[in-house]
Amino acid sequence: MPSSVFRSGETLAGVLHGVRTALPRLELRMLVQHVMQLSHVQLLTQSERTLTDEEAARLNELVARRIAGEPVAYLIGEREFFGLPFCVNASVLIPRPETELLVELAMQRLPQGGRVLDMGTGSGAIAVAIAHTRPDASVAALDISEEALAVARKNAERNRCSVRFRQSDWFSALQTDERFDLIVSNPPYIVAGDTHLSEGDLRFEPIDALTDHADGLSALRTLCRHAGDYLQANGWLLMEHGYNQSAAVRQLLTAAGFEEVQSWQDLAGIERVSGGRKR
């Protein structure tokens, strides 16, 4: 990518309407907004504003990185989830729309004043979305990565909600007498060696948050095996999983003694979340 694709002194109108990159126009607009710190409305109303030397250099850098495959969310440091803004960086997965199903199912099953635990919270998207929507709830979130927890804490503060974060290798940091009405998780579930890991945005996301480096079910097995020890009677375990894993996850839930075991489809018609209720 030549360094002079965009030049100092160019107007925003010229930047956005000249076809000089392979980027979709929406992505270019997002990068321009980020570099120039403009809202969408400001971008439209300040079309004659010109790029400074620094802005042109920064925009050229980000465009080149995007063309090389780096996710837009990492380039601008933000992604929307459940209608809320979330900070993201290479320490956390980029929140995806299909995970909103997990949040919706969780809130349907969370009693007034209930306690919910998010396992492997990453950016905190699930925990923060629940805490923001249900301020009556007590929300806790665990992750093994301190770098991820730093991002999650920032997101809770940014969205003005209360979440208790702890570093933990799955259930290890919990007290034996802790109980929750609901446990939710979007664990690593991609099978080791899956070609998707070397494609698209996944190439840049934290590998340990994507795959268990095995059959894709080891984290889901751990959740099914131990969640019952920390759930109240009639509490629910809800887990996101891969597009072809629903039957296997239902078997794990049934074997662990959960009732009302079922799977739910995302907007694409894929069984994306499975769960069950503790007896």
79-137 pLDDT tens trace: 999 999 999 999 999 999 999 999 999 999 999 999 999 999 999 999 999 999 999 99
Q: Would the pLDDT of 138 be above 50?
A: yes
| Residues 48 and 180 placed together within one structural domain of the fold | no
- Answer yes or no: is 203 within a domain: yes
Query: Do 95 and 123 meet the contact criterion of CB atoms below 8 Å apart?
Result: yes
Domain assignment present for residue 6? The answer is no
Question: Does the structure show a pLDDT above 90 at 19?
Answer: no
Do 120 and 173 fall within a single domain?
yes
Is residue 184 in a domain? yes
Same domain, residue pair 21 and 124: no
Task: Using the predicted structure, report yes or no on whether residue 40 has a pLDDT greater than 90.
Answer: no
Clarify whether residues 46 and 128 are in a common domain.
no
Give the span between the Cα atoms of 61 and 67, in whole angstroms. 10
Same domain, 223 and 96: yes
Specify whether 218 is located in the same domain as 180.
yes
| Percent of all residues in the chain with a pLDDT value above 90, rounded to a whole number | 88
In a domain, 42, yes or no: yes
Per the domain annotation, does 86 fall within a domain?
Answer: no
Same domain, 125 and 248: yes
State the DSSP string of the chain. Answer: --TTSS-TT-BHHHHHHS--SSS-HHHHHHHHHHHHT--HHHHHHTTT-B--HHHHHHHHHHHHHHHTT--HHHHHTEEEETTEEEE--TTSPPP-GGGHHHHHHHHHH--TT-EEEEES-TTSHHHHHHHHH-TTSEEEEEES-HHHHHHHHHHHHHTT---EEEE-SGGGGS-TT--EEEEEE----BPTT-GGGGSGGGGGS-HHHHB-SSSS-HHHHHHHHHGGGGEEEEEEEEEE--TT-HHHHHHHHHHTT-EEEEEEE-TTS-EEEEEEE--
Confidence at 20, pLDDT banded by 50, 70, 90: confident
More reliable by pLDDT, 209 or 21: 209
**Do 58 and 141 have their domain in common?**
no
pLDDT band for position 16 (50/70/90)?
Answer: confident
Residue 84 belongs to some domain of the structure: no
Q: Is residue 239 part of a domain?
A: yes
In this structure, are strands 180-185 and 271-277 parallel, antiparallel, or unpaired? unpaired
The CATH number of the domain where 180 resides is what? 3.40.50.150
Structure confidence at residue 81 (pLDDT) = 98
Average pLDDT over residues 140-148: 98
Q: Band of the pLDDT at 4, cuts 50, 70, 90?
A: low
Whether residue 125 sits in one domain with residue 61 = no
Average predicted confidence (pLDDT) for the chain: 95
Binding-site positions? 120-124, 143, 170, 186-189
Dihedral class, residue 152 (left if φ above 0, else alpha if ψ from -120 to 50, else beta)? alpha
Domain check: are 171 and 255 in the same one?
yes
Residue bearing the bigger pLDDT, 279 or 146: 146
Instruction: Verify that 202 and 234 share a domain, yes or no.
Output: yes
Say if residue 32 is in the same domain as residue 101.
no
Token pair, residue 228, equals 């019952």
pLDDT at 1 over 50: no
What local confidence, expressed as pLDDT, does residue 190 receive?
97
Residues annotated in a binding site for substrate: 186-189
CA atoms lying within 13 Å on the CB side of residue 99: 23
What domain count does the chain have? 2
Residue 21, pLDDT above cutoff 90: no
Domain that holds residue 48: 12-68
For 26-50, letters b (16+ CB in 10 Å) and e give: ebbbbbbbbbbebeeeebeeeeebe
pLDDT of 54 strictly over 80: yes
Query: Which contacts (CB < 8 Å, 24+ apart) does range 76-79 have?
Result: 76/30, 76/31, 76/34, 77/34
Given a cut of 70, whether residue 2 has pLDDT beyond it is: no
Decide if 254 is inside a domain.
Answer: yes
Binding-site positions for S-adenosyl-L-methionine read 120-124, 143, 170, 186
